[in-house]
Structure 1
Amino acid sequence: MDSRTARLGLHAIDELEARRIHDRAPQPGDAWAADYPFEGDLPATGSFLRATEQNGEQRPFGYYQIRRQSDRLAIGGVGFEGPPDGGVVEIGYGLVPSARGHGYATEALGTVVQIAAGLGVTTIRADTDLDNVASQRTLEHAGFHQVEADSKLCHYEVKVQTS
Structure 2
Amino acid sequence: MDTRTARLSLHPIDELEGRRIRDRAPGTDDTWAADYPFDGDLAAIGGFLRATEQNGDQRPFGYYQIRRQSDGLAVGGIGFKGRPDDDVVEIGYGLAPSARGNGYATEALMTVMQIAAAHGVTTIRADTDLDNVASQRTLAKAGFAQVGADSELYYFEAQLAR
Cα shift readout 1:82-127 (whole Å, capped 9, x = no counterpart) = 0000000000000000000000000000000000000000000000
Separation of aligned partners in 2, 1:92 and 1:17: 18
Aligned to 1:11: 11
In structure 2, the partner of 1:89 is: 89
1:48 match: 48
1:127 partner SS: strand
2:122 equivalent to 1:122: yes
Corresponding residue number in structure 1 for 2:59: 59
**2:133 matched to which residue of 1?**
133
Residue 161 of structure 1, CA deviation:
1.0
Q: What residue number does 2:26 align with?
A: 26
d(CA) in 1 for partners of 2:134, 2:49: 28
Partner SS state of residue 11, structure 1: strand
Q: What CA deviation, in whole Å up to 9, does each residue of 1:14-67 have, x standing for no partner?
A: 000000000000010101001000110101111111111111111110000000
Seq. identity, %: 75
Q: 2:42 aligns to what SS in structure 1?
A: helix
Query: How many residues matched?
Result: 162
Distance 1:152 1:41 in 2: 20
Aligned equivalents of 1:46, 1:55: Cα separation in 2: 14
The 1-side partners of 2:143 and 2:2 are apart by 22
Letter matched to residue 125 of structure 2 = R
Q: Following TM superposition, by how much is the alpha carbon of 1:2 offset from its aligned partner in structure 2, in angstroms?
A: 2.1
Q: CA RMSD in A?
A: 0.6
Regions of 4+ moved over 6 Å: none
Look up the match of 1:38.
38
Q: If the length of structure 2 is used for normalisation, what is the TM-score?
A: 0.98
Q: Structure 1: how far apart are the matches of 2:91 and 2:130?
A: 17
- C-alpha distance in 2 between matches for 1:135 and 1:115: 20
Any gaps of 5 or more consecutive residues in structure 2? none
Q: Name 1:108's counterpart in structure 2.
A: 108
